[in-house]
Chain A
């Protein structure tokens, strides 16, 4: 066996109250794509941060090509040949590609020398990119390419990629995988973090699975089933959500020719969006974030008002009504951004319960708050959705992302809405909690509510939706029955080829 590129031995990192990594050992060989699998909180990020020099381990050691490796900063890690592409991009929208790349380098050459190098690297790895383009105008996939090219210019021996496909269309994923395979064939090792199991099976040579901060297994993903990987990751058998298919012939909400201008410079517009949601039905709306998803949710929530007649519910025009009036009518929403939009960080969970449930749950009478009733409602949500928190008095900002997500989605579901619209309902939530949330959405539909799920996660949409459409550049494609849609067809819908065929199922 060849000497590993990076050997990790007994790495341990403890934070007050939690051991993030406990005696983690693994080896990354030269020229392999190595998957790092695990739920949220399993310790993937901490491990990667130690490799990239962002966090120092309490114990354990690392060796790079047989020599001791203990980076004290990302600069040191980069100097040792480690590059990292983060899940959240650190790009300046107002600057162009070359300027953004230069800002990420410790000793950047003049832009006029840099631009041709960017073009070279991007072409040789199949990452089409124009150095002169403004980043604000780029798609998420193109932005990711900027980050990748920035790393590749440093000719890394190890490239770390944190959930790289969460923002990509299927076609963009194929393109990325081709690039990664080319890099691998040239001898670059890739540490690939994801919880998309099918991707890992398709791409990765080896997988290390973390649970609760320790390594629970390592395997060859292609030899395992996705279900088996998930069980090892979660530590128990996962139930696939039950989808009863309960759509009724009764319109719950209707959007008719909804158009809205962008709210700010890099915001998206909505262009002539129309849809009909039936009671008991789950509509899935796919597409990469930034194509009007937030705007559609805001228009449905009543945070943005639209032209009269564009949004109707049971014959009533809601277009000019604010959020509270819509909630009274039974239209509830859960925005994507948990902290600062769906919840206020410094307010307790009890106080946050008031944000959307004040009227429907009768937590307030003539403006005065019934605190004990509000606390009971918040505690009910905490119990039902297994929100891990010391209590309802805890500030929302003190919860982990996944737990807060369970709370803000649960808060809406617990109010038994007539129509529920959710944006990225399981973003950053671990597999078990995601399954709980999806099942709750399906149960809601089974009881006769209409549900709209806006998500970038196509697997999720295929799992829960009755009908599916794509939102790209503010336009909504026709809805098609989700059952039987192929990845290619979805890819075409996401690519904006809306009029590919007249078949639809309205």
Chain B
């Protein structure tokens, strides 16, 4: 008989070992799935994890992609993690990401075609504000009317997607685009371009912002009283009240940070890798960031590593579907397994497994 025995306190070793174990289990289960699809599992795993970084043919293209994809994931996940630790569930980062991109792009395009150095910083600020405002909607509805922030923030994603489609064919459409939907190319306009800072590395301002966000979140969580209050509110709401934490203010704070960071991710994306506002500009970074946040144990450094790993499975997954003809759905299932196994083995942090006879206690 196997029984779970609650640990007196969470195991630090397992808190760090479970993500690694989850990755291993994902590789095993993923291999079985690929084998069941009639693909060579070893080649598939190699294509996903190894080729994007080291294959002589593809690495030149895919290695910079690692930072390009990891940047927004880390930036968004870092903000979300603060809220998740406090028990504030912002599921709508995708919408805040879109609104950041729209607000930032609009601020820049309003000044087109002026060439000035202040335009890009202005767009960045407008992007952060766009994400922030979108996040304030669920935050204020929650604190004023006690609505469920999970539902409101999630549903606002679909509102944002429709707004995106609307501006892509309306207000922000490129007047010189021959009627095609989509804005002017912001990456090709010097004043707004978020170019690679070091050639062929994928390092752009969004990646720099992500690293700053990680450092900021680490200091906040581990050196600042707000960090203790965030953890308190998540673990023991009554104790947080006892400590003098105002729960409403904390909800607003967590939504503000996560919304602004998602907005920043949006504006850095639209001015760099994406280049323009288009109908399908968003590719799900806001949702994947939720997985990244948990894969990284809601810890800033963990998120940094998890973001890179997640980006790798994205790039590798694309490569695998292109090279080996693995269906995109299988790649998504593979990524889903990662979160599944992570949550499943998470139990080891709080419980130890005991083999042997059943014992009542």
Contact = CB atoms under 8 A, between A and B. Distances in A.
Interface of A: 15, 54-56, 73, 301-303, 322-325, 327, 333, 335, 337, 339-347, 351, 354-356, 358, 364, 367-369, 371, 394-395, 397-398
Given A55-B360, A354-B228, A303 B242 contact: yes
A346 B10 contact: yes
A332 to B, nearest CB: 11
Given A340-B238, A395-B10, A398-B8, A354 B243 contact: yes
B359 interface: yes
Contacts of A327: 244
Interface of B: 8-10, 223-226, 228, 231-232, 235-236, 238-244, 246, 359-361
Contacts of B243: 323-324, 354-356, 358
A355 B240 CA distance: 8
Given A303-B241, A355-B242, A395-B10, A346 B224 contact: no
Contacts of B239: 340-344, 355
Given A56-B360, A347-B232, A395-B9, A341 B225 contact: no
A351 B244 CA distance: 15
Contact of B242 (A56, A301, A325, A395): A301
A173 to B, nearest CB: 31
Contact of B236 (A55, A340, A354): A340
Given A341-B238, A344-B239, A355-B243, A369 B10 contact: no
Contacts, number: 84
B226 A367 contact: yes
B241 A323 contact: yes
A298 to B, nearest CB: 9
Nearest to B8: A398
A56 B359 contact: yes
21 contacts: A15-B361, A56-B359, A56-B360, A323-B243, A325-B244, A335-B242, A337-B238, A341-B236, A344-B239, A347-B232, A351-B228, A351-B231, A354-B228, A354-B243, A355-B242, A358-B225, A367-B224, A367-B226, A368-B225, A369-B224, A398-B8
Given A54-B360, A55-B360, A344-B232, A323 B223 contact: no
Nearest to B240: A344
Contacts of A323: 241-244
A276 B8 CA distance: 43
Contacts of B235: 344-347
Task: Select the residue from A341, A343, A364 with max chain B CB neighbours within 10 A.
Answer: A341
A347 B9 CA distance: 9
A371 B223 CA distance: 8
A369 B228 contact: yes
B8 A347 contact: no
A346 B236 CA distance: 9
Contact of A368 (B224, B246, B360, B361): B224
Nearest to B10: A346
Contacts of A343: 236, 239
B305 to A, nearest CB: 23
B249 to A, nearest CB: 10
A354 B10 CA distance: 20
Nearest to B227: A369
A398 B10 CA distance: 10
A395 B241 CA distance: 20
Given A55-B361, A345-B235, A369-B228, A397 B8 contact: yes
B243 to A, nearest CB: 4
Contacts of B223: 368-369, 371
A355 B242 CA distance: 7
A395 B240 CA distance: 16
A334 to B, nearest CB: 9
B8 A395 contact: yes
Nearest to B237: A340
B45 to A, nearest CB: 36
B246 to A, nearest CB: 7
Contacts of B240: 344
Contacts of A358: 225, 243
A368 B225 CA distance: 6
B244 A324 contact: yes
A468 B224 CA distance: 43
A178 to B, nearest CB: 35
A175 to B, nearest CB: 34
Nearest to B7: A398
* Best-buried of A55, A322, A324, A397 by chain B (most CB within 10 Å): A397
A311 B244 CA distance: 18
B112 to A, nearest CB: 42
Contacts of A398: 8-9
Contacts of B8: 395, 397-398
Nearest to A298: B241
A62 to B, nearest CB: 16
A325 B243 CA distance: 11
